[in-house]
Structure 1
Amino acid sequence: MDNSSFLSKAKSKFADGVVRSKTVLSAKFGSGVFDAAVFSPSRISRGNVLQIVNRLLDGDSEATGELESLKGENARKALDVIQEFLDHNIDISATETDWGIPLSPGVRLVQSMVKLSQLSGQYPSHFFVKVNPPLSSKSNLTVVRGGFQTEVFVSQYQKKKVAVKQLRMIAWRLLEPQRQIVQNEFYLACLEWRQFRHPNILPIYGLLAEARQPTLILPWRERGNIRCYLQQPDVQVDVKQRMKWISDIANGLFYMHRCRECHGNLRGDKILISDENVAQITDIGMSRFRKYWSEDIIPGVEHSDRWTAPEVLGGANPSTFSDMFSFGLVCIEIFTEAIPFPEYFSMGAADKILLGEYPCQPEKMPDDLWKCVEQCLHPHPYHRPSIYTVLKGKFFHID
């Protein structure tokens, strides 16, 4: 698919989503709900908010300022309306393939939503949720997965089986105001993740209300992460299925990059396998909190360095370019069923990456995919292919 036809299809998809959302909300609240209304930041109505949303989607810069001026209960009401608007199947991802082109209306709306939440200290009403049985009654819950970073329990939310993922972050033991700053940043990252809708991105239902540690409520995936699933003795996976999973990961990453988000910590245990055998990327936006994980102060615990691009090991911030480096190593991981550089501790693996030494082509990995992996592992970030370029290759296609 060439760039012009892709852009046309993406823009049409976004426009269809906006029309769908407006139709549903107009039927629910009346045909005039999107009509212009007198705006007052001291007393906001649903019509006010939807009219601001309408203007923001049309590129009205003043609408952003009006939205961000809201405070307290008015801000929370506005966040509820925007969340309801976004929940009606709108694809927020950018309609462009180049980061140099202005943001899509959907991404701009989400960024304004997150900014309003940051400035007001408010969140959508249903962002903090409760599960049954509650996490407080741990006698009724069993840790089904976990490690030094997390504990995962199984519970129910809206009659669905969910993973209650409690993170061990040393930031939650910081003194005020540092603790509050980190907590708010974490909530905002999860709020942005909440807006992502793609079959290869694991959705997040929300955060557990009144939790002592940051706790995510996520769909339960019985098969677990891709590496652990492949390592099960009774699981046999052919090359075609492995390629399908790599395609899933590439499509999820493509969606993220179109949404102007890099993952920053892509690795096998951040990719879950659904009951439908679909690979889904999880922990969106969590890489910015890596310095607060408990693992970083526990000697001998497995770190993410062995998947990390050399420029990030050297102190640069994660980027879409570093995501491509990690993607290359994840492709190797899927074919070897092992972590990269398994013969080395994390520090030794990082040294190998900094020296420009990478794993050999795994057995059964197709040659064309290996050529792609080699390009992804280029030591210079700007010489790596974009995920869009990868998806145009022989084994992949953009839906």
Structure 2
Amino acid sequence: MRPVVRRHNSTPEFSIFHDFDDGPPETDAVMDALDGPGIGRRRGPPEPLDDLDRYCKRPRLDGWGSQSLVEEPQRNISIDRELDRMKVILNNEVQYQKLISQNGLMAQNLLDLLQQLAEYTMPPLRSQIYKAMLRLSSHSCHHPRCLSLKHVKKLEEYPVAGGGFGDVYKGAMGRYQTTVVCLKVVKVYLTSNVEKLLSDYIREAIIWRQLKHPNVLPFVGIYYLDGSRTHLCLVSPWMERNLVEFLKNATPDDIDHEMLIFDIARGLAYLHSEKVVHGDLKGVNILMRSSDRPCIADFGLARVADSKVRRMSSSTEAHHLGTIRWLAPELLKDDGRTSKSSDMYAFGCVCYEIFSRGYPPFSNLNDWAVIHRILNLNERPSRPCDSPGLTDSMWSMIELCWLENEAARPSAEEVVAQLEYHHVKGNDTLCPDWDESLSEVLRENLDYPSRTSFGDEIEELLSQLESSCIPLDGELLEGLKESGTGCDDDICISADSIFDSENSNHVS
């Protein structure tokens, strides 16, 4: 009897809903996430950017200094007033529900305001604002306007690649179309629930925007091709080749196996530290920068493609079968769900690709034979022959990633620590941050609404919500937190409530 194979569900968690002070500022992606315009913003010449954490420059407010958000700057009284009011609303369950239930222009203006306020606060309020933003976006099918790009066009008529999420085109961005970008055009014609699918991708874009690491492909923005809402494009930097193409075309002397593995492990450890499960890690989803350093891509698109809405399409089974060789044993079973541990199994398979010049595990077998070997015979790929750089300790680490017991597999952080302990060469030359040119293009092509464009309706709504909030004494408030009611400081949205298509319309 054949084992049951179905599209696996993913179970991502996101640390943006926790206190952002848990980690050091230089590794905390969300400290500078969702960069947007300020309220009462003072215009001036753009400031140079030194690293990816600031690739979309934080605007200034009147009365604010240039200090990092890690240090509390002096703020304008009106901004403090807006933040205080929002905090009152977000901590009252009834008024919070009213806030995230808005539609149309009101929802759009609220998202823009939340986006701006999030830039000028500290945790835990920042996490509450992001949580409200995601839920309001899911309900209204809108997104902060500063995610929208201008001056984008498709360069070629036919896609250069495709996947379960849609087609990939080469595009250009900028007033003079000088910056080459990647356009991932979402396939919405395969489902009758177009708005639901678009909502899923928009939420994914909001989350992707917050992730900033040199070994993770950055998110540039959203663009609607031909002005049509059904032609949603997720825009990212253009990369000429993926890891598999690099491995198959490079000479052996040009391949630094240890550096590739170290960079990918660092990128995956970063994603996992932000509670993001990739769910579809393999060589073709790892892109190569011009410096021949890898960056992980498509971690968000795989999740949306796995949703029940996408399962309605005819391409579902084919997309799944293309990933069989990278799937952990638990994902080949009926109740399998992706996790950090299943990502580590896939990471071991990516390491195999690196040492086999781009060939996947069990490359001589069809998918059903691979499933039989893994589930019934408990086999794992054999050690590649004549592979330079594949030491006994490296192979032992790869085999640990393939353990049947998912709890016994090493974490990405442990792999990075082990590579550092063995003085892997990549540790001496860390991957450089993304360069400044992307920042300049973004400043020219992002759509920033002004605070004055929100209108009196927003002020009236927020004043009404604030005045309807009943102050709670400390004992009652503590009881609400313990029972899970309200927006407490370290609440975390469950994976199902964020990404499960069946539940997403019922996110509270």
Q: Please indicate, yes or no, whether the TM-score normalized by the shorter chain is above 0.5.
A: yes
TM-score, length-scaled by structure 1: 0.74
Q: 2:183 aligns with which of 140, 159, 164?
A: 164
Q: Deviations along 1:142-184, whole A, 9 cap, x unmatched?
A: 54621565543222113421112334x4x63222xx3322221
RMSD of equivalent CA atoms: 3.9
Rate the CA distance shift 1:211–1:242 in 2: closer, same or farther, 3 A. farther
Q: Counterpart in 1 of 2:397?
A: 372
Q: Is it true that 1:306 corresponds to 2:328 in the alignment?
A: no
Distance 1:80 1:353, change over 3 A: farther
Q: What is the TM-score normalised by the length of structure 2?
A: 0.60
1:79 to 77, 86, 111: 111
SS at match of 1:163: strand
Deviation at 1:141, TM superposition (A): 1.4
Residue 343 of structure 1: aligned partner? 364
* d(CA) in 2 for partners of 1:16, 1:179: 30
**Separation in 2 of the partners of 1:119 and 1:286?**
20
Partner of 2:136: 116
Q: Is the 8 A contact 1:306 1:346 kept in 2?
A: yes
- SS of the aligned residue for 1:230 comes to helix
Map 1:320-359 to 2 at 5 A. Answer: 320-336=340-356, 337-355=358-376, 356-359=378-381
- Partner SS, residue 132 of structure 2: helix
Q: Deviations over 1:352-375 (max 9, x none)?
A: 222321112233312222111111
Q: Output the CA distance in 2 between the equivalents of 1:259 and 1:50.
A: 25
Give the equivalent residue in structure 2 for 1:42. none
> 1:65 aligned to 2:96?
yes
Letter in 1 for 2:208: W
Cα shift at 1:294: 5.1
Task: Answer yes or no: is the 8 Å Cα contact 2:29–2:210 preserved in 1.
Answer: no
Q: Which range moves more in the overlay, 62-71 or 247-256?
A: 62-71
Secondary structure, counterpart of 2:272 in structure 1: helix
Distance in 2 of aligned mates of 1:17 and 1:113: 16
Query: In the aligned structure 2, how far is the partner of 1:104 from the partner of 1:231?
Result: 47
Query: Following the alignment from structure 1 to structure 2, what is the Cα–Cα distance between the partners of residues 47 and 157?
Result: 37
State the secondary structure of the residue aligned to 2:236: strand
- Structure 2 portions without partners, runs of 5+: 1-20, 43-59, 65-73, 431-508
Distance 1:182 1:77 in 2: 22
Q: Distance in 1 between matches of 2:264 and 2:125?
A: 25
Aligned to 2:190: 173
Residue number in structure 2 paired with 1:215: 233
- Which of 223, 238, 246 in structure 2 is aligned with 1:229? 246
Query: With CA pairs under 8 Å and 6+ residues apart, which has the higher RCO, 1 or 2?
Result: 2
**CA shift digits 1:308-340 (9 cap, x unpaired):** 111111132111111111111111111112122
1:176-223 CA-to-partner distances (Å, cap 9, x unmatched) read: xx332222112211221122111111112223312645532110112x
**Residue identity (%):** 24
1:227 partner SS:
helix
**Which residue number in structure 2 is paired with residue 31 of structure 1?**
63
Aligned-partner SS, 2:360: coil
* Alpha-carbon contact 1:34-1:50 (below 8 Å) kept: no
Q: Is the 8 Å Cα contact of residues 49 and 82 (structure 1) preserved in structure 2?
A: no
Spell out, residue by residue over 1:256-285, the C-alpha distance to the aligned partner (whole angstroms, 9 max, x if none). Answer: 112111000000011000112221111122
Counterpart CA distance in 2 for 1:185 and 1:214 is 12
| Map of 1:383 onto structure 2 | 408
Q: Return closer, same or farther for 1:81/1:319 CA change in 2, 3 Å cut-off.
A: same
- Residue 258 (str. 1) matches residue 273 (str. 2): yes
The code of the aligned residue for 1:391 comes to V
Q: Which residue in the other structure is 1:43 paired with?
A: none
What is the Cα deviation at residue 238 of structure 1? Answer: 5.0
Give me the whole-angstrom Cα distance separating, in 2, the residues matched to 1:263 and 1:287. Answer: 8
Q: Does 1:153 align with 2:178?
A: no
Cα contact 2:329–2:375 (8 A) shared by 1 = yes
